[in-house]
Amino acid sequence: MKARLLALKKRYWDGRAAAERRALRLGALALAPLVAYFLLWQPAHQATAKLRVSVPNMRAQAARLHIQAAEAEAIRHHPHPAVLEAVALKTAVVESALRHQIAISTLDVQQPNAVRLTLTSISFEIWLGWLRSLQQEQHIRAESVGIAVLPQTGMVKISTTLVNGGTQ
């Protein structure tokens, strides 16, 4: 390999006149900064500008992913509430209504884990508080709700289906 390079040098470089070699050296010396600029510095400078924009976005995405991963991990280890049968669900709703001093008009067992409830006159604010309490304490949620406004300010008639279990 070395012999080939020496033969190539002898044929192409040594065969030229001294003035021609000097002109080629000066040309190479003049072109070297241009080649370095266009092949090295300019692409690196453009990539740096792009990275200044994209790296903060990627860091924000990574932070969101870490937060979402922590949420997923917390949810995965969160215990699933026990599903109450309809009779136990009815009992739990009645006991909670008594604790919150809410008068239930009708309460019927529906599906295996659902009850149909009607409240003829209740303050909307009290209804929301009671529903929040049912969700937090007993994992009972409203599957469907019908609300009718009554003539008294803040009073409503509620017709709802309460369920326990499933996705919350």
Half-sphere exposure of 143 (CA within 13 A, CB side): 14
DSSP E strands in 24-139: the ranges are 106-109, 114-123
Give the model confidence (pLDDT) of 27-83 as tens digits.
989 999 988 898 888 998 899 989 999 999 999 999 999 999 999 888 777 666 667
- Look at the pTM and tell me if it is higher than 0.75: no
Q: Which residues contact 111 (CB under 8 A, 6 or more apart)?
A: 86, 163
User: Is the four-CA dihedral 123, 128, 134, 136 of positive or negative sign?
Assistant: negative
Give the model confidence (pLDDT) of 104-148 as tens digits.
999 998 877 889 999 999 999 999 999 999 888 888 889 899 999
